[in-house]
Structure 1
Amino acid sequence: MSELVLVTGATGYLAAHCVQQLLQQNYKVRGTVRSLGNESKLKPLRSLDKASELLELVEIDLGDTIEKWTRVVSGCDYILHVASPFPIVADDSVIQVAVRGTLVVMEAANKCYGVKKVVLTSSCAAINEGHADENKVFTEGDWTDIDSPKVRSYPKSKTLAEKAAWDFVKNMETGNKFSLTCLNPTLIVGPLITVDQGASVSIIKRFMSGAMPALPYLQMAFVDVRDVAKCHILAMKAKQSDGKRILVTQTPSLWFKDVAEILRKEFGQFNYPIPKYMCPYLFLWIYSFIDKESKEILDRVNRHIKFDNSQAQAMLGLEFRQIDESLIEMGHSLIDNEILPRRNGYEERNNNNQK
């Protein structure tokens, strides 16, 4: 009998890829969704190969009771806790949602003796924010300093949620003593299965829609969504990852001008308004008064983003995809899913999400 894996937030960008890869490997999957009434949102999951035999969707929210979550977790062998808010512009409300959502899943796993392991989707934002030396190479041993005035609400939410999970496991004295692995991906890109428009989609959409009139001197680390999903499943099964944090990222990081050049080579011929010119800090600072997303990145301008991904490679044997291809596939996916308009001369490209 195949094992049952709970995937929280199953219609999300990353979670949908986790569901797809689990089904491909013949796991039974129980996916949580906020509503079973939105069939258009659920259709991409129900259309996945083997979904009719192996996929069950259940309606529950991170704010629901521990009793309800215990019923959902009951019978599961593993939990991939992927669901968590990731707005580009966040306020402190995301902290409570992230921490409470993480703890309710931990508590439910502690009550259900069949659960062997929880894999928690954390973030690099729980690692490299608020440090005196922002340009050093960051590893899993680093933690974001939430007391730094530079650290905004989203990094605080991911840091506090991950710490709450580790504290919960450390202090378990009774009940089901499951294992925990936390994954810390950088910005996730690549093709879409669902049309969930989280931060990753919003950022690449801005590159291609004209919403980014010029390029800030901003560097980011990227990772392909399929690699992150694969890492969840590898960590789920790998005993050596128990009790570990794992940075999940391709290296080196890319400047926004590099991202724009990659996208322009592919989509410029179709007249997508991908920015060409750099934005001086003064102009960005002025623009931030009318654009909240620009304000969010002011502290990150001219930072060199460096991560050590050797643990993911050594412990899980993961080989990361090249990000230029991931970005191109994501651009096509945004157009094919009508998140971006189809311009004259554009021909649909068949993204193969199953690789």
Structure 2
Amino acid sequence: MFPRTRTIIPARDGTLRVLRAAREAGVKRVVVTSSLGAIGYGHPSRDRPFDETDWTNLDGADVQPYIKSKTLAERAAWDFIARAGSGLELSVVNPAGIFGPVLGPDFSSSIEIVKSLLDGAMPAVPRVYFGVVDVRDVADLHLRAMMAPEAKGERFIAVSGETMSILDIARVLRRELGPRARRVPRLQAPDWLVRLAANRIPLLRAVVPMLGRVRHSTSAKARSLLGWRARSNDEAILATAESLIRLGLVKG
């Protein structure tokens, strides 16, 4: 199945179905969960942080099918609202990588990073960076976006602090978990080695365009307009690890 059929079309069409149903039911406001992937990809490296005025450039080399699906789905949502003329309001939350406590074995790819580190699945980590946010803070921002009059027609980035590398996350785990992090790698793999390994390991191919790309982003709008406050990166990472260990989801 092609990425367009598997990822892009369901994301866009599913978003539009929800908006149509909301309009027909007389719903006042819909909050769409988009992604920072709809904001900060496909651009040259830059020092200025990405904010809600930015959009991902779909022609960029680092735009994978998931990123494209989130961008096109959010674009379709805003276009729908612009055409609907029915009084239906839209707010959008754009989270960075979502971490925090898990409830069971069905979890996201962000959580899988922490699990892989704790399991020692990677002898060395690729030079990949991303923003971090705790799932509990993402939920809080959704509520604020739903209830606050100021949130009508606005996007809100959900990110806790500075961009982290996978090696940064590994260091947090080793520092805070002690012996429980004994399998966590200490080394960062050189980019050339990751590119070479990607020829044999399909899962690494999606990582290659991300090597060394640092995307700074800011949640200043959510903080100033909605009074949103987020847990620190370290707290989100540690909560992820503690829950995985407590639920027996990592190697003993």
- TM-score bracket relative to the smaller structure: over 0.9
1:150 to 62, 71, 79: 62
Q: 1:50 — aligned with what?
A: none
Q: CA deviation at 1:158?
A: 0.2
Contact kept in structure 2, 1:134 and 1:303, CA below 8 Å: no
Select the residue among 296, 310, 332 that pairs with 2:220.
310
Flag the 1:217–1:227 CA change in 2: closer, same or farther, 3 A.
same
* Offset from partner CA, 1:272-313 (integer Å, 9 cap, x none): 410101201111111112323322121111122211211010
Tell me, in whole angstroms, the C-alpha distance in 2 between the residues paired with 1:194 and 1:311: 33
1:205 and 1:270 mapped to 2: Cα distance?
Answer: 12
Gaps spanning 5+ residues in structure 1: where?
A: 1-89, 344-355
State how far apart, in whole Å, the 1-side matches of 2:31 and 2:238 are.
29
Structure 2 unmatched runs, 5+ = none
Q: Which amino acid aligns with 1:251?
A: G
Deviations 1:56-91 (A, max 9, x none): xxxxxxxxxxxxxxxxxxxxxxxxxxxxxxxxxx93
Do structure 1's residue 103 and structure 2's residue 16 form an aligned pair? yes
Asked whether 1:213 is paired with 2:123, we answer: yes
Contact persistence 1:128–1:134 (CA under 8 A): no
CA shift digits 1:226-285 (9 cap, x unpaired): 110000001100110100011110121112221101111233413541010120111111
Aligned equivalent of 1:139: 51
Q: Which residue matches 1:258?
A: 168
**For 2:162 and 2:55, how far apart are their aligned partners in 1?**
20
- Sequence identity, in percent? 34
- Cα distance, 1:110–1:116 mapped onto 2, change above 3 Å: same
Which digits, 9 at most, give the CA deviation of each residue in 1:27-64, with x for residues without a partner?
xxxxxxxxxxxxxxxxxxxxxxxxxxxxxxxxxxxxxx
The AA in structure 2 aligned to 1:131 is: H
CA distance in 2, matches of 1:94, 1:194: 24
For residue 178 of structure 1, the aligned residue among 88, 108, 125 is 88
Letter in 2 for 1:255: S
Query: Which residue does the alignment assign to 1:117?
Result: 29
Structure-2 residue corresponding to 1:287: 197
Paired letter, 2:199: F
**Stretches of 4+ aligned residues off by more than 4 angstroms:** none
Larger radius of gyration: 1
**Contact 2:173–2:181 (CA under 8 A) maintained in structure 1:** no
Contact kept? 1:249, 1:309, Cα under 8 Å: yes
CA contact (8 A) 2:45 2:213 kept: no
Cα deviation for residue 109 of structure 1 reads: 0.6
Q: CA RMSD in A?
A: 1.6
Specify the alignment match of 2:186 in structure 1: 276
Secondary structure, counterpart of 1:303 in structure 2: coil
The separation in 2 between residues aligned to 1:330 and 1:148, in whole angstroms, is 31
CA distance in 1, matches of 2:74, 2:98: 18
1:188 equivalent to 2:101? Answer no
Q: Distance in 1 between matches of 2:96 and 2:47?
A: 16
Cα separation, 2, equivalents of 1:244 and 1:255? 29
| Number of the residue aligned with 1:126 | 38
Query: Does the 8 Å contact 1:250/1:321 carry over to 2?
Result: yes
Contact 2:12–2:76 (CA under 8 A) maintained in structure 1: yes
Query: In 2, Cα distance between the equivalents of 1:271 and 1:304?
Result: 26
Once residues 215 and 30 of structure 2 are traced to their aligned partners in structure 1, the CA distance between those partners, rounded to angstroms, is 29
Higher helix share: 2
Residue identity opposite 2:10 in structure 1: V
Q: Where do 1:200-239 residues align within 5 Å?
A: 200-239=110-149
